[in-house]
A and B are shown apart, each in its own frame.
Chain A
Amino acid sequence: GGDGGTKKEKKGGELRVAVPSEPPTLDTHVNTTTISSNIARNIFETLLTFNSSGEIQPMLVESYKEDGNTIEFKLRQGVKFHNGDEMKAKDVVASMNRWINVSSSGKETFKGASFKEIDEYTVLLEMAQPTSTAALVLAYSGGEAPTIMPASVLEGKDPKEKVGEYIGTGPFQIKEWKQNQQIHLTKFNDYSSREEAGDGLAGKREALVDDLYILFVPDSSTRVAGILSGEYDAAMELPIDSVDQLKGNKDIELKSVPRELLLLYFNKKEGLFTNKVAREAVDAAINKEDVLKAAFVNPDYYKTNHHVMLANQESQWYSEIGKDKYDFHDTDLAKKLFAEAGYNGEEIRLMTSRDYDHMYNASIVVQEQLKKAGINVKLEVYDWPTFSERRNDPSAFDITIITNKGKVEPTSLVWSRPDYVGWTESEELNGITSKIRQAPSLDEARGYYDELQAWFLDFRPAIKMGDGDMLFAGRKTLSQLEDVDGLIFWNVSNSK
């Protein structure tokens, strides 16, 4: 068995974590919010998962076997749900089929696929075509994670209806959810852990604290103050502007992980930016590093990354294409290109929301830079729900800047979706996507990444500015604090 951390390990006690927002639901199948999956994965587990170097590892399965159109999963035995029942194939089938049905990533990657029970501890995934990214997507525990819950919870319900009972197999179980305040998780005593040593999300999991409080603290300065004063043991999404204070405090360990892709989206359905030249012009007008700096403040916490995946995924996904052009910006060229695109002074609407500071700060800089290139840019600021509504309206905006979360593989990046902001529609892209997805192996799929990157730079469905980090901090009383697609709270003890 793994021996966990090397630090003094104290069992029991509590862990108080400040998070910026409250999850809409913990039903991971239908929710894309980071916070939701972050909390939910303490309760729910997936069949597969990643280790710290991004490799796929079994979680709830003993083993799995990919074979062209099918994958066979052998389930671990004796895994208990929080309600005391054992996890069996029927639970997996019910959960996974619902997931394929309701989640967008399920629908995209597993179109026409379904799970079948072979025996009590074996299930079979049958797909319409071979899918290189299948295991990757199944292992992903970010948004819309394919988690396993008891069939009894799902039975007899419209799959689209949200699940209200949160029963999983994870190391923590839910005790209480005080709306607008906190979620209280407690250690699940019957948790059956894997035997391998903990590594990333894989391997041994053990709840070392008895109580885990996830506190919703929307105000970033309060999170900072709380971690400074010891009110919280850990805090997520700290403002980068307070780094100095946090670093200066010897009781606090400050960490960061690359988390977000900062992208500038064009409205490709209506207006000036239906014209590729205009999109090119914007690229020429923008100084990406300045934008990143405004959004993420400190060079330590952003990466001037030219390709579409996150910089820390480079061991898996990397392309040289466009690296030389990353720094390129030329206002004169931009002016010329705009003229070429037929721009004649009309108002360009740059839409943003202050609910996300990165987006807003980046927008302010972009506006100024575009103005320098002679573009009449109007900044329109909306609150998030208004923004969400308007970004789906082709007549409502021309440009908008959004941060997207990193994905495990490039085809699920949202800018490629025809129904997402900006409406990317390209036969060529569809071709590349299918090539990647249907590649017989992941390695082969990775080979097509250059192609995708080249297309991205040519078509410019959006402009990638770079990657931004998420800053988090823990009190030094914690044995360890790690982030793999979100903070990990198992295997963490608190000696406070």
Chain B
Amino acid sequence: MPMTKSSNVQIEPAKESLLEVKQLKKFFPVKKNFLHLNKEKTFVQAVNDVSFTLYKGETYGLVGESGCGKSTTGRTILKLTDPTEGQAIYNGSNIFKLSEQELRKVRQDIQMVFQDPYSSLNPRKRIGKTLEEPLVIHNIGNAHERTEIVMEILHTVGLQLEHYYRYPHEFSGGQRQRIGLARALILNPKILIMDEPVSALDVSIQSQILNLLKKLQSELDLSFLFISHDMGVVRHISDRIGVMYLGRLVEEAPTDELFSAPLHPYTQALLSAVPVPKLGTKRERVILKGDLPSPMNPPSGCVFHTRCPFVMERCKSEVPQKKHKTMEHHVACHLYDE
């Protein structure tokens, strides 16, 4: 397949872009023993130069190695941690530059489901109250109506009315995850950032939830940023998928294209490693060799070169640039240089 030149590709605004993340960087300083005075500061480069666009009504799946910065990307977009660099353009303004007041409005539109469902629930609050909270914050309905809404949403995510009065520790992992989802859904957001929203659900409920999400999306024109490890789930829900590795976005493509023709060696390895719930259908796995690199001192050049089966000399020194295969499919890998 001939590769288009990266330089002169113009992406037509076929769809209305809703959220645009540009060159996002987030470095965490590494806490040192405070007696070591003179050492240089080191950073965990959790997110390094990530850009992508979320269009209206679409789902952007974010996959990648554990610890590669997916959650951090999600949290940073909402400015839950301060970004080191970069922009997140929503409604024409940079979220990172907003005043607290404006930020709060944006946060009504962009909701987040946290990866860790238990710790994201206040242990002292009954679930009902926790769920009502966003309604109160944004002045929706009166006390009675709010209770109604909450009970409704509990039901929607497959929980019972009784659960309204329970405390978080009385729930199972999957139930908590659904509570997190309910909390994010309750405000009718425009964008939903979901960090592993179904990982703790059994497939039957998972499918209910995924169906629900799809339904909501089509009805309300929602956009999702969907972070997950479950390739099956991602495939099912996403329109486009970004693959991250060690803080960088290495490949981005429409779902079908990614699954049928993954370009980046990491993506290929990833797809090959998915376990299949059928016996005897073991696939040929691309086994990644080499040590896992650390985000504290990522490898020079292409961050994947230490484990890449196709590694070349230049990979070790040169950072690969983004190259477009089609308008929507691009990859950062030297293999596809002309």
Please say whether the chains A and B touch (CB closer than 8 A).
no
Chain A interfacial positions (CB closer than 8 Å to B): none
